[in-house]
Structure 1
Amino acid sequence: MKLPNGPQIPAISQMVRWIANPMSFMEACAKRYGEIFTLRLDKNLPPMVIVSNPQMLEQILTNDTKELAAPGEMNQIFESLVGKHSVITISGAEHQRQRQLLMPPFHGERMRSYSQVITDVTEQVISQYPIGKPFNIRSVTQAITLRVIMQAVFGLHEGTRAEKLQHFLGDLLEKGSSRLIVALLYFPALQRDFGPINFWGKQLRRQQEADQLIYEEIRERREQPDSSRTDILSLLMAARDETGQPMTDEELRDELMTLLVAGHETTATALAWAFYWIHKLPSVRQKLLQELDSLGNNPDPNTIFKLPYLNAVCCETLRIYPVGILTFPRTVTTPFSLGNYKLEPDTIIIGSIYLTHHREDIYPQPQQFKPERFLEHQFSPYEYLPFGGGARRCIGLAFAQLEMKLALAKILTSRELKLVNNREVRPKRRGLVTGPDRPIEMVVTSQRQLKSAVLQTV
């Protein structure tokens, strides 16, 4: 079998580069080897083929034969965060069952019912930041997304348990984003107690404290059911599979953690990047505010969601620095032809979302932030895939888009903000996803009054 070309440095060196800065490593490989190349991160594991060709991605992500599998065991790196029963870490019929149980709360009227929660939480959080005092915008967006999850997903608005759980979960995710914890995820042998230097043990204790609160909440909900509740936990507890069986407590806990991990850090980071680009480029900010102001006071959330330029800004934010830079892996189960290569069983195939989003042939001047791309062209699901694709596509993508648009609209129309400095910010690894390489410092300069289209014309 002849694999695609790839770096010839030792596997441990490739692993170090992969952990430290996967974007620059992939860019260097793509520059030298092209749109398909092979990495060897561990001499004891199968080779990993990285793909950024849209036609190949379509072939991989829509493959419904037995040639490829999307095994949950390949995602065991996530298990310490989301558990053994997460839709991320399971496969086959079990994955299909869990996905079907999870889908209903994220569609149609159910999802739109969370609009008020998003808007109210956004106003509560931004109101805590006084005029003239600099802050890290990511701290604002993290507070918004965590509180939205606490209310919309967990159904916890206030009280001791809500406060404790929010604290433990926020601390768990923040500490879990360090490069040291990421390195431990890739080296399971190091996931043990080393005495005084016990980073992994401390992380496990944070997880156990959060789990205890989650199980207490589930137990109380089972003992005192309330059919009027519309939070996602209540809907999942009421859901039944084809045989009439509900989720177990362990399945509920793992899916709640999945929604937290997939929906908190990712949306918070995307929002932070959006504020950065909007205020770094005055023309983008001006166009966006004109569109938002045209709606008048108290616009309908559905109308905000459909705004074309706001949508373009969000899409370009998720294109230029996607929070998730890879698709979930597929494993070759029988000989599989991909491009000019015949891949043998056990070969791992991963789509590079980051490299695909930076192809010159699809996105001219890919390093420039240009929302107009998404007004001028309709990209295929394999050219633009910030939420992945196929059977493992992110379930909460519509919720994330709604939250992103409503939070941006609320803050931009009610506050005048500016960047403290205009220095460039670049992406870096943050946990298993990406984030800004330095704090994006912003400041509220004033409350903002609505500028109607009529006043602007005058």
Structure 2
Amino acid sequence: MKLPPGPKIPLWLLGLQFEINPFGYLDAISQRYGDIVTIMSGSTPIVYISNPSGIKEIFTNTKEITASGVLNQDFAFITGNQGVLQLDGLVHKNRRKLLMQAFHGARMQACGRGICELTEKMMSKLVVGKAFIAYPVIEDITFQVGIERVIGLYEGERYNKIKHLFASLLKLDRQSLIVKIISNIFQEKDLGKWSPQGYLLHLRQELFQLLSTEVKERRQQADISRTDILGDLIFACDETGETLSDEEVRDLLLSPIFAAGDASGTAISWALYWIHRLTNVREKLLEELDSLGQNPDPMSIVTLPYLSAVCNEVLRIYPTQLFTFPRLVESPIELMGYKLHPGTILLGNIYSTHQRDDLYPKPKEFQPERFLEKQFSPYEFLPFGGGSRVCIGASFALFEMKLVLATILSRYQLELVSKRPERPKFAGLICSPASGVKMVMRSRRQKEVEGQRRWGADEKSCTAHF
């Protein structure tokens, strides 16, 4: 077997270098070894690909290369053993189809006004002239949208507890590598919820119990008028025609909420950073948004070309998901001139693909216009992964991103507090802003003062229809 080239230093040291400066590390690796690189994990070769033709091969060759759910077992701790990431074959196909019903068509369109109203509600709590960290504010919005859309909860004690537990689990997942190493040492000691691992187990158990209770109560109500994902799953049948168990339904709820809250919140926070760092970008966006007039229809907002280009450029330059989900070589194959044996793990390197000079000239510069001038293939621009493991909520994530940004930009005058570049911080699958994007609200935009509280006054909020 002739493996692609790659660094020979220990895996733990590579991990430390990656955590300190993820984008710098990936740039250095690509510059030295090219667009196909091998990193050894013990005796297992992990091959990273940032070449569009190579990525196309791993997405489309489903005979010799499989997107095995076994490779995603590390996520089962917080997404459940029967989450969509852990499933394979017909079972995986069936569950993806069930989950995706709520992320398309009329349902998605119906909730647009609710996203705008929720954003305005959260932003109106900020104090003019007082600095704030954008990331947690935005994440609060995206978690609320996710829980409402997935579970159908939008208020009450259980809703508040579930939102708090999701955020707490994510906070622990974002710990630094050093903290995680210390936690692994202490997890061997039986200190209950006072030890790092014990506390994590406690949070997980509490979250799973609350979700299980919600599933049982909703099944007893049997309300077919509900249009959230939980309502779909309760009445759904599996690939054999049998009703899904309560445990299966519970596990399937987890990944969409984590993705909605974490990935979407991260992408919107990065967008606020770039838009307010580059005056010309902000001015062009405001001109486009203002052209829609007072209180525009959400579906008019999401079709704006420059807003779409800005969102795509945010996801290109600092993709929230740096790599695709892993694939496994099942039979001997040749990939980009290298012969790979069964057992080799393949990962699409999203970040490095988005940094290719031949695809994106001057890739370090934030240039939304590139997405107005060229249509990129799903192997050249892949912020949500691809193939059978592409993110189920990709279209909804962009939909939400555009509406949250449009609401904030149209109604508020914000500024970055610091002139220094925002650094990325990698944790789990997500690469978030290290300092959270510190901003200050200077004023409300005068354009919309009159009638600003009449958003949706003649129509119901979509919140009740999630």
Q: Confirm or deny a common fold (TM above 0.5).
A: yes
Is the contact made by 2:184 and 2:197 (CA closer than 8 Å) also made in structure 1?
no
Q: Paired residue for 2:25?
A: 25
Is the contact made by 2:46 and 2:347 (CA closer than 8 Å) also made in structure 1?
yes
The letter of the residue matching 2:368 is P
Q: Paired residue for 1:132?
A: 129
Q: Paired residue for 1:35?
A: 35
5 Å-filtered alignment, 1:258-277, equals 258-277=255-274
Q: Paired residue for 2:148?
A: 151
Q: Does 1:195 align with 2:191?
A: yes
The letter of the residue matching 1:361 is D
Q: Paired residue for 2:56?
A: 58
Cα distance in 1 for residues equivalent to 2:22 and 2:290 = 40
Name which of 232, 243, 248 aligns with 1:246: 243
Name which of 46, 49, 53 aligns with 2:47: 49
Cα distance in 1 for residues equivalent to 2:45 and 2:294 = 56
Name which of 293, 298, 302 aligns with 1:301: 298
Structure 1 residues 333-353: Cα deviation after superposition (integer angstroms, max 9, x where no partner): 111110111111101111100
The letter of the residue matching 2:133 is N
5 Å-filtered alignment, 1:20-419, equals 20-40=20-40, 42-43=41-42, 45-65=43-63, 67-180=64-177, 183=180, 192-193=188-189, 195=191, 198-419=195-416
Cα distance in 2 for residues equivalent to 1:18 and 1:417 = 32
Kindly tell me: are residues 191 and 95 of structure 1, through their superposed partners in 2, closer, same or farther at Cα, counting changes over 3 Å?
A: farther
Structure 1 residues 361-390: Cα deviation after superposition (integer angstroms, max 9, x where no partner): 111111111100100111111110000011
Is the contact made by 1:178 and 1:431 (CA closer than 8 Å) also made in structure 2?
no
**How many pairs align?**
447
Cα distance in 1 for residues equivalent to 2:289 and 2:430 = 31
Structure 2: segments with no counterpart, 5+ residues:
449-466
Cα distance in 2 for residues equivalent to 1:361 and 1:381 = 16
Q: Paired residue for 1:8?
A: 8
Cα distance in 1 for residues equivalent to 2:17 and 2:245 = 40
Kindly tell me: are residues 78 and 184 of structure 1, through their superposed partners in 2, closer, same or farther at Cα, counting changes over 3 Å?
A: farther
Q: Paired residue for 2:460?
A: none
Name which of 418, 427, 431 aligns with 2:428: 431
SS in 1 for 2:95: helix
Q: Percent identity?
A: 47
Is the contact made by 1:319 and 1:357 (CA closer than 8 Å) also made in structure 2?
yes
Kindly tell me: are residues 101 and 181 of structure 1, through their superposed partners in 2, closer, same or farther at Cα, counting changes over 3 Å?
A: farther
Q: C-alpha displacement at 1:192, in angstroms?
A: 4.4
Is the contact made by 2:116 and 2:407 (CA closer than 8 Å) also made in structure 1?
yes
Q: Paired residue for 2:455?
A: none
Kindly tell me: are residues 189 and 247 of structure 1, through their superposed partners in 2, closer, same or farther at Cα, counting changes over 3 Å?
A: farther
Structure 1 residues 401-458: Cα deviation after superposition (integer angstroms, max 9, x where no partner): 111000011111111111112211121213331111223111111111338xxxxxxx
User: What TM-score, normalized to structure 2?
Assistant: 0.92
Cα distance in 2 for residues equivalent to 1:224 and 1:394 = 31
Cα distance in 1 for residues equivalent to 2:172 and 2:269 = 19
The letter of the residue matching 2:49 is V
Structure 1 residues 271-305: Cα deviation after superposition (integer angstroms, max 9, x where no partner): 00001111110100000000000001121111111
Calculate the aligned-residue CA RMSD, in Å.
Answer: 2.0
Q: Does 1:442 align with 2:439?
A: yes
Is the contact made by 2:27 and 2:352 (CA closer than 8 Å) also made in structure 1?
yes
The letter of the residue matching 1:287 is K
Is the contact made by 1:71 and 1:91 (CA closer than 8 Å) also made in structure 2?
yes
Cα distance in 2 for residues equivalent to 1:188 and 1:387 = 31
The letter of the residue matching 2:36 is I
Cα distance in 2 for residues equivalent to 1:48 and 1:254 = 28
The letter of the residue matching 2:400 is E
User: What TM-score, normalized to structure 1?
Assistant: 0.93
Is the contact made by 1:193 and 1:201 (CA closer than 8 Å) also made in structure 2?
no
Is the contact made by 2:68 and 2:328 (CA closer than 8 Å) also made in structure 1?
yes
Kindly tell me: are residues 130 and 81 of structure 1, through their superposed partners in 2, closer, same or farther at Cα, counting changes over 3 Å?
A: same
Is the contact made by 1:14 and 1:39 (CA closer than 8 Å) also made in structure 2?
no
The letter of the residue matching 2:229 is I
Over 6 Å off, 4+ runs? 187-190
